[in-house]
């Protein structure tokens, strides 16, 4: 069946429908990862967006539930050049086509994704519609496409109640990819900051749209992790006396999260070590008086070079964001830039002064992407008094 991608500037791409046949209007972005398409599909940070994959062949190794970064896909639509309908991989449990249909995600294949990516780079991120209606009229749909705005996507993707992940337990989704065990917070998790049974570090993680590998990265380093919904108060988190606090990635405009910003300010004012990634990085900046702004087309993919300003070393990183911290608005008595993007010199991290806090814009947990910056989790462990 034919499908159409209609951009807000009137450009129309014609291809083949994949996944659900429902019509969707969304923000269209592109991702430059060569592998890891299932991780992209299940990354909550893509809520409210339709993702164009620049790599020309998608689906060739199928779907494996263990690779999912959450229980379901969160993006609004999927755009590919060629969709493999016969995956070849001993781990494969399903095809992308069936996966998209199962979760009612519409998509389009067979379009010139290079031309689409070039347009988004030159004109900037824009809204678009995916439809199978061959009788669409531009004069009717363009006003709807142009008026689309994302809301507070964090409210959609965060979990509804706290969940506990014990140290060392690193499974994510069960093999069929449909469910994951919900773990209740144990009664002895609250205490004096010495870790459960006096042995393990305890991390309170604020779920702004967390990828599961952030949790796994902490578990395998000996941390008990309690994951809290985004709306959790600072008083509730600090009342458990965690050894450290993690602020995670997530979707949307950080300025759409005023309640989270208010509570993060309270976390900042505590003496608890804090590590923040992506959206968490932006929210901490806003909570401490800095500003953020939207990028022309953002950074999404697994090949973004970032320089550590303290050592000069360059890391290849995984990224997924459309907003950035404006370093011109950062109070130098509060924080200083710690990392910078080599390509466009945008901010990639802040070190907070007189606080045990550091934040990064990129994804040290990868999935997908290179693991060059995974050492940042070790730094967080040391901040909490571990590895001694």
Q: How far apart are CA 72 and CA 46, in angstroms?
A: 12
Q: Is 319 labelled as part of a ligand binding site?
A: no
Q: Is 250 annotated as a binding residue?
A: yes
| CA quadruple 260, 221, 173, 84: dihedral sign | positive
Distance between CA atoms of residues 239 and 247, nearest Å: 17
* Residue 45 annotated in ligand binding: yes
Backbone angles phi, psi at 76, to 5 degrees: -85, -30
Q: Which positions ≥6 away from 7 have C-beta within 8 Å?
A: 13, 28, 119, 126, 127, 128, 145
Residue 320 among known ligand-binding residues? yes
Compute the distance between CA of residue 96 and CA of residue 102 in angstroms, rounded to an integer: 10
DSSP string, 354-384: TSSEEEESSBTT-SSS--TTTHHHHHHHHHT
Q: In sequence order, what DSSP letters do the residues of 17-41 get, joined into one string?
A: EEEB---EEEEEEEE--SS-HHHHH
Longest distance between any two alpha carbons in the chain, whole Å:
67
From the list 173, 278, 304, 348, the catalytic residue is: 278
CA distance 211 to 36: 13
Instruction: List the Cα angle 282/284/290 in 5-degree steps.
Output: 75
Q: Is 279 annotated as a binding residue?
A: yes
Considering the candidates 8, 263, 348, 365, report the single residue annotated as catalytic: 365
363 flagged as catalytic: yes
Sequence ranges of the binding site: 45, 250, 252, 279, 282, 320, 322-323
Sequence ranges of the binding site for L-glutamine: 45, 250, 252, 279, 282, 320, 322-323
State the catalytic residues: 278, 363, 365
């Amino acid at each position: 069946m034919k499908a159409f991608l209609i951009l807000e500037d009137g450009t129309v791409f014609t291809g083949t429908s994949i996944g659900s046949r429902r019509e969707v209007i969304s923000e269209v972005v592109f991702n430059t990862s060569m592998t890891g398409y299932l991780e992209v599909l299940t990354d909550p940070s893509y809520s409210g967006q339709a993702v164009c994959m620049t790599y020309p062949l998608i689906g060739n190794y199928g779907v494996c539930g263990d690779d999912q970064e959450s229980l379901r896909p969160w993006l609004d639509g999927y755009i590919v050049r060629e969709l493999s309908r016969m995956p070849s991989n001993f781990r494969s449990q399903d095809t992308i086509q069936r996966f998209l249909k199962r979760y009612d995600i519409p998509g389009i294949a067979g379009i010139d994704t290079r031309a689409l990516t070039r347009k988004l780079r030159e004109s900037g991120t824009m809204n678009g519609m995916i439809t199978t209606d061959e009788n669409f009229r531009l004069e009717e749909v363009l006003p709807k496409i142009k008026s689309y705005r994302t809301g507070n996507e964090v409210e959609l993707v965060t979990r509804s109640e706290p969940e506990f992940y014990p140290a060392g337990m690193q499974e994510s989704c069960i093999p069929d990819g449909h469910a994951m065990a919900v773990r209740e917070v144990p009664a002895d998790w609250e205490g004096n900051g010495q870790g459960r049974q006096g042995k393990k570090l305890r991390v309170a993680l604020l779920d702004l749209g967390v990828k599961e590998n952030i949790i796994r990265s902490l578990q395998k380093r000996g941390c008990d992790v309690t994951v809290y919904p985004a709306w959790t108060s600072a008083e509730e988190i600090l009342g458990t006396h965690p050894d450290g606090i993690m602020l995670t990635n997530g979707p949307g405009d950080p300025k759409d999260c005023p309640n989270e910003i208010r509570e993060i300010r309270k976390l900042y004012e505590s003496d608890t070590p804090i590590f923040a990634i992506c959206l968490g990085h932006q929210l901490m900046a806003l909570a401490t008086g800095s500003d953020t702004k939207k990028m022309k087309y953002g950074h999404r993919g697994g090949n973004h070079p970032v320089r550590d300003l303290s050592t000069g070393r360059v890391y290849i990183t995984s990224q997924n964001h459309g907003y950035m911290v404006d370093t011109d608005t950062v109070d130098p008595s509060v924080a200083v830039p710690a990392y910078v993007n080599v390509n466009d010199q945008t901010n990639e991290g802040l070190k907070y002064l007189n606080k045990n806090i550091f934040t990064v814009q990129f994804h040290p947990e990868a999935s997908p992407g290179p693991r060059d910056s995974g050492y940042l989790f070790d730094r967080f462990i040391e901040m909490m008094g571990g590895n001694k």
